[in-house]
Chain A
Amino acid sequence: MDTPRPIGYWLTLVDRLIDEQFASTLEEHGVTRRQWQLLNVLSREPATVEQLDAAVAPFLSADDGESSAEHLTELIESAWVAGTHDGYELTDRGRTAFERLAEVVATQRTVVADGVTAEQYEQTVAVLERMARNLGWDG
């Protein structure tokens, strides 16, 4: 390739590829990416819908007024997530399913980062965070 591609090219490309890979992998297991992210947050501790919204804010469409609540519906109906007085929490069934999914996702992440050293990976994550914050991200 004669002309180096700008970083914006790689950012857009990798974002799309990761999104597609996640969606494909998770869909095979009956979960959307948004649901996976919510399960991830709830696996750490119970949360309110506001806290869930904040945790997945970059992935919600502000234009459509998208909220975590709509993505929780199926999880609740399947008894993976239960409503509490303060918000939502994982059920035992949900935790078991989450742990299975986590194994699958961990394997996928290994594939994505194949050939990248831990130091390069950390550097890249730090740079991406810095870029996001330079552009006004304050999450």
Chain B
Amino acid sequence: MIGEKNPASAGEEEITMKTPIDTPENTTRSRRPGFWLRAIEHRKHALAHEYRTGLGATAREGISDEDYATTMATLERMARNLGWSDDDEAEFGPRGGHRGFGRGSGRPFGPGFGPHRGHRGHGRGHDRPTAENSPEASRSTDPQA
């Protein structure tokens, strides 16, 4: 019958996985959907962790400790050169926010000359198409939007 056994312990007589809804005192509840949903999440996280750990080991193959350390230090220096600081991490972490050298950092707009219209309407100038033949004159939407 489907759902008779915990997939994480297939082949074993006892269900061994412990989740908030599966305790030794109440294993019958483990047959309910909530248990299996929790079991799936549990395994997803475990597999993702194993995958990430494995990737790290794979990525480092053939790289000396010295080269690895140099790379870490260089990347940190580059991050700081790009305006990152430890304070940024405290607030946003490596993926969050737009601090420092990124968009919206308050830097003045430069002299634009490219074809991309963007959204801000800032400086455009030399070497661009004229108003008569400009791309936007005949285009109603921005393909980069």
Contact with A along B110-145 (1 / 0, CB 8 A): 111111111010111001110000010001000110
B14 at the interface (CB under 8 A from A): no
User: Is the CB–CB distance between A12 and B94 below 8 Å?
Assistant: yes
User: Is the CB–CB distance between B56 and A8 below 8 Å?
Assistant: yes
- Which residues of B sit under 8 angstroms from A116, Cβ to Cβ? 74, 77-78
**With A and B bound together, what is the CA distance between A54 and B111 in angstroms?**
31
User: Is the CB–CB distance between B79 and A131 below 8 Å?
Assistant: no
Chain B contact residues: over half helix, strand or loop, or mixed?
loop
B16 at the interface (CB under 8 A from A): no
Closest to B73 in A: A120
- Which residues of B sit under 8 angstroms from A127, Cβ to Cβ? 63, 67-68, 70-71
A49 at the interface (CB under 8 A from B): no
Q: Which residues of B contact A (CB under 8 A)?
A: 55-56, 58-63, 67-68, 70-79, 81-84, 86, 94-95, 98, 100-103, 105, 107, 109-118, 120, 122-124, 127-129, 135, 139, 143-144
- Besides A7-B75, A120-B70, 4 more A-B contacts (Cβ < 8 Å) are A18-B82, A24-B102, A29-B112, A104-B110
